Structure 1
Amino acid sequence: MEVPYNEPDAGLLAKHGAGDNAAPLSITEISALLKRTVEDRFGFVRLRGELSGVKRAASGHLYCSLKDEGARIDGVMWRGTAQRLSFQPEDGIEVIATGKLTTYPGRSSYQIVIERMEIAGEGALLALLARTKARLEAEGLFDAARKRPLPFMPRTIGVVTSPTGAVIRDILHRLGDRFPVRVIVWPVLVQGQDAGRQVAAAVRGFSDLAEGGFVPRPDLVIVARGGGSIEDLWAFNEEEVVRAIADSVIPVISAVGHETDTTLADFAADLRAPTPTAAAELAVPVRAELINQIAELLLRKRRGQMRALALAGERLASRADRLPLPQAILASRTQRLDDAAERLRRGLLHRTGVAQAALSRDAGALRPALLAARVARGRERVAAAGLRAALLGTAQARARDRLAGLARVMSQLDPDKPLERGFARVLDPAGQTVTSAAAGAREAALTLKFRDGALAVQPVTAGAPRPARSTPARPAPTKSEQGRLF
């Protein structure tokens, strides 16, 4: 039974009446009492509401508000818990938050410390999916212009999937049947809280491999998972996975779920396969079919070559039929050759006979008596000409005297001969002798040739000033010295 509290008359100073045990509490004390009361009473609650004012602090903590039609409550999720969220919180998403209520003395308010957050129903999940798709599509991540063609015959294929499921076995089996290639499996979780982060890291990891390294970089990447509900496939709808696929430098095939399942990864990938097995079929051609195609092409090539040879043979045969026989072409030439050979034989015989007759005629005149007579007549003509040795010596003496006289005259006519007696010879730049002052004045430079050498000079006309010289002036010439040339 509560005892009524009789408030004393208000005065200037606070007073305590007799038996008064209600001492005043400080603000901190009452806040602590409220905090313990709220946390004891509401230590575990589940709230359903719409997210509002979602933001992440630099520390990694998540702050938000939960609201419905009539009320609003603040919420906080610490960094360790926020990192384990399986979706990206956004304003407008209806969620179910599990945690405990507490108070925040700094603002005299209460809030929920969220330990678990889930999307409230499949409808809310689909709404979140639609908003995320619209936002990423507006950024151009799903544009057809970004799609790249797949390599026709990849040498290495990277597969991002669970290593223990049936998906990887189906892919390896299908690749082995069609065209065996090297397969590198990057094991990841395909469902759960950490699945999205692992898938995104695997796609980026394949792109970061160096070409020609110890682990070769794949020519094609397949992101695969079996079928399931929208919740099971949610990891492939996360923004981190979609951006990793869009940024991949390697063409990506998305093979998530069955034919009716669609994820955002399918829109970002270069090609969507309805099933993982279909992805393996799209990745490589059929080796047997390629061998058959090559064999067929070789056969067609041989047929074409044989057809061309046969056609050429037919053309050659038809043209050869129209040509005359070689014997007919050479018949007239052969006859002319035979005629010429017969004429040559007869001509040689005739010429030989004529030569033999001439030789016989000339040989009759070559008798010793006739030759001796001809020699005697020659000696008589030589004696009559008077070609004696004394006459030849006299002619040589006269010629020698004439030659000596010409030599003496030539030495006197040599223009350099007077130089030995102290004279000088004036030459122009062309090496010709200058014989007058007027001719020398017209030249820019002259050469004085002496007995022991030559001296280059510059003519100066009478009355013209002499050019300045940098060397000391020579003393004026005496009367016996030559002042200037002209």
Structure 2
Amino acid sequence: MDLFEDTPAPAGNSPEYTVSELSGAVKRVIEGEFGLVRVRGEVGRVSRPASGHLYFDLKDDRSVIAAISWKGQVARMQVRPEEGMEVIATGRMTTFPGQSKYQLIVEDVAPAGAGALMAMLEKRRVALAGEGLFDAARKQPLPYLPQVIGVVTSPSGAVIRDILHRLRDRFPRHVLIWPVAVQGQDCAAQVAAAIRGFNAIAPGGPVPRPDVLIVARGGGSLEDLWGFNEEIVVRAAAASRIPLISAVGHETDTTLIDLAADRRAPTPTAAAEMAVPVRLDLVAAVDALGARLSRALAQGVSQRGQRLRDLARALPRPDTLLAGPAQRLDTAAGRLSGGLSLAVSRKRGSYERQAGRLSPVALAGLVVRRREALARRAEALEARLARRRDLWHSRHDKWASRLAPSLARLIAQAGMKITEQRRALQGFSARLDAAPAQRLAELARRLGALDRTRQTLGYDQTLRRGYAVVRGDGEVVTTRAAAEKASALEVQFHDGRLTLGAPAARSGGRKGGGSKPPEQGSLF
């Protein structure tokens, strides 16, 4: 006997499980024992894939549990787990047979006390401050008297009533209310959408664009105000092109939107007071300024009148000012007549001297001299014209000598071009003469081919292959019923046609026992 021969192992009382059976049994045990558990631990390794599910770890100083929140559960969470945050997770235990691991399906996450929330809030504040969202240099000044005020708050709370009441007391303005949830999981998304929506309103449109925004909410716990600490709200407030006043909670409550807003109000009522001045104070101030202006104008006119009178007393009398110029005018008038007489006598003497020089002999000599000068200029001009004419003649002869060879060359080139074009025209003429004959031959070939195709496809050729055409009462018959209805049938073969009698007469002869055989030439 071979000692190395395999021998079957002795069967025991223990049952045999498949891998899937054992994994299922473990799954049922764990889910049955830990149907609903609350686990406290630190969040580590948070993963958010495109599916929308949330994968993270819960750990302490000795152990780690894998945790999963499905997409619908994540949407209902008020607080999203972040790495390093200490939380209390509520869910149920289960297993993942594909990797032989157990995991916690988390339905809700709550911070493990206010200390965890404050730590997460401080971490977020530092990160956003590093981006410059809280810098004082980027904050906008509030308008002194806005025409339209946009309010982001809950329409059913006491906050909006306080704001409207304060605005009505101080300075009534047009108010646009954007209703939002101020608490819960939808708070952050709705508040951010409201801020962006007010900024998206076009100036001059059917809906007036607010000049200032107020984001308001009453007091509450840190968890109640958590929506105003979300990053999406802070970024929307920082990106607002409309000046924004944050009035969230009481004076002791501080949220991240307070740091990103252009102004922070301790209460919603204080936000309304920041937005508009007191109308009665403005009216009183305007009246006071008007009275001061009237008094200043009256005092200024009085002071300038007194100054004018003082200056007038310092001026000399008009008679005194005009006495000296009047005396100088009288003196000049007395000297004018003598000066005119002397000037006339001087001009007359000068004229007489000039007239003595203008005698007829002098004029004749002047004319002769001018005529001689004109003759000299005419001779010089004629000489210049002769030289200019000779120069042009020489230039013309030079160009004429160069023109003849050019003309001959151009004529020769034109002749060669005409010869080439004549040869091309002859070729075109020959092609034109041959084109009709070629076209007619081509059409004749196509016509012959089409005729042969027609003959091949015609039913005459089909008849020659042993087929026949049956007509009844002049119409082609294709069915037995049509043939029985026809009064007479005509069969066409390729070599002629054969007419048959009525089908009823032929069929009636067969029903009786003494019918005669069909006549020769009948097909029935």
TM-score strictly above 0.5: yes
Q: Distance in 2 between matches of 1:431 and 1:299?
A: 94
What is the Cα deviation at residue 432 of structure 1? 2.1
Q: Distance in 1 between matches of 2:122 and 2:242?
A: 27
> CA 1:14–1:38 in structure 2 vs 1: closer, same or farther (change >3 Å)?
farther
Report if aligned partners of 1:210, 1:217 keep a CA contact under 8 Å in 2. yes
Q: Secondary structure at the match of 1:152?
A: coil
Q: Does residue 235 of the first structure (1) align with residue 227 of the second (2)?
A: yes
Could you report, residue by residue, the CA deviation over 1:74-99 in whole angstroms, capped at 9, with x for unpaired residues?
10000111122222321111111111
> CA 1:241–1:332 in structure 2 vs 1: closer, same or farther (change >3 Å)?
closer
> CA 1:166–1:330 in structure 2 vs 1: closer, same or farther (change >3 Å)?
same
What is the Cα deviation at residue 310 of structure 1? 0.8
> CA 1:280–1:11 in structure 2 vs 1: closer, same or farther (change >3 Å)?
farther
Q: Distance in 2 between matches of 1:61 and 1:196?
A: 20
One of 382, 388, 399 as aligned partner of 1:432: 382
Could you report, residue by residue, the CA deviation over 1:113-137 in whole angstroms, capped at 9, with x for unpaired residues?
0111111111211111111111211
1:95 alignment partner in structure 2: 87
One of 365, 389, 393 as aligned partner of 1:446: 389
The one-letter code of the counterpart of 2:254 is T
2:282 alignment partner in structure 1: 290
One of 394, 399, 404 as aligned partner of 1:458: 394
One of 114, 117, 133 as aligned partner of 1:125: 117
Q: Secondary structure at the match of 2:403?
A: coil
1:185 alignment partner in structure 2: 177
The one-letter code of the counterpart of 2:221 is S
2:403 alignment partner in structure 1: 470
Q: Distance in 2 between matches of 1:41 and 1:216?
A: 61
Q: Distance in 1 between matches of 2:245 and 2:45?
A: 37
> CA 1:79–1:434 in structure 2 vs 1: closer, same or farther (change >3 Å)?
closer
What is the Cα deviation at residue 154 of structure 1? 1.2
Report if aligned partners of 1:87, 1:238 keep a CA contact under 8 Å in 2. no
What is the Cα deviation at residue 226 of structure 1? 0.7
> CA 1:321–1:42 in structure 2 vs 1: closer, same or farther (change >3 Å)?
same
Could you report, residue by residue, the CA deviation over 1:104-162 in whole angstroms, capped at 9, with x for unpaired residues?
11221100001111111112111111111112112221111221111111111111111
Alignment of 1:78-477 (within 5 A): 78-322=70-314, 432-433=382-383, 443=387, 445-446=388-389, 457-458=393-394, 468-471=401-404
Report if aligned partners of 2:145, 2:276 keep a CA contact under 8 Å in 1. yes
> CA 1:137–1:331 in structure 2 vs 1: closer, same or farther (change >3 Å)?
closer
What is the Cα deviation at residue 334 of structure 1? 11
Q: Distance in 1 between matches of 2:399 and 2:175?
A: 103
Query: Structure 1: which 5+ residue stretches go unaligned?
Result: 1-9, 338-413, 415-426, 449-455, 474-486
The one-letter code of the counterpart of 2:401 is A
Q: Distance in 2 between matches of 1:333 and 1:470?
A: 89
Range with bigger deviation, 88-97 or 109-118: 88-97
What is the Cα deviation at residue 472 of structure 1? 6.8
Q: Does residue 42 of the first structure (1) align with residue 37 of the second (2)?
A: no
Report if aligned partners of 2:80, 2:109 keep a CA contact under 8 Å in 1. no
What is the Cα deviation at residue 322 of structure 1? 4.4
TM-score (norm 1): 0.67
Q: CA RMSD in A?
A: 3.4
What is the Cα deviation at residue 317 of structure 1? 2.1
Q: Distance in 1 between matches of 2:67 and 2:249?
A: 35
> CA 1:92–1:333 in structure 2 vs 1: closer, same or farther (change >3 Å)?
closer
Q: Distance in 2 between matches of 1:460 and 1:231?
A: 111
> CA 1:11–1:215 in structure 2 vs 1: closer, same or farther (change >3 Å)?
farther
Bigger share in helix? 2
Q: Secondary structure at the match of 2:382?
A: coil
Report if aligned partners of 2:81, 2:109 keep a CA contact under 8 Å in 1. no
> CA 1:33–1:250 in structure 2 vs 1: closer, same or farther (change >3 Å)?
same
Q: Does residue 58 of the first structure (1) align with residue 50 of the second (2)?
A: yes
Range with bigger deviation, 119-128 or 324-333: 324-333
Number of equivalences: 358
Report if aligned partners of 1:446, 1:459 keep a CA contact under 8 Å in 2. no
1:353 alignment partner in structure 2: none
> CA 1:260–1:472 in structure 2 vs 1: closer, same or farther (change >3 Å)?
closer
Range with bigger deviation, 242-251 or 272-281: 242-251
* % same residue: 53
The one-letter code of the counterpart of 2:393 is V
What is the Cα deviation at residue 206 of structure 1? 1.1
Q: Distance in 2 between matches of 1:294 and 1:195?
A: 43
Report if aligned partners of 2:167, 2:173 keep a CA contact under 8 Å in 1. yes
The one-letter code of the counterpart of 2:67 is G
> CA 1:12–1:67 in structure 2 vs 1: closer, same or farther (change >3 Å)?
farther
What is the Cα deviation at residue 294 of structure 1? 2.2
> CA 1:136–1:11 in structure 2 vs 1: closer, same or farther (change >3 Å)?
farther
What is the Cα deviation at residue 328 of structure 1? 8.0
Q: Secondary structure at the match of 2:61?
A: coil
> CA 1:317–1:466 in structure 2 vs 1: closer, same or farther (change >3 Å)?
closer
1:399 alignment partner in structure 2: none
Report if aligned partners of 2:143, 2:211 keep a CA contact under 8 Å in 1. yes
The one-letter code of the counterpart of 1:33 is A
Q: Distance in 1 between matches of 2:21 and 2:161?
A: 65
> CA 1:248–1:13 in structure 2 vs 1: closer, same or farther (change >3 Å)?
farther
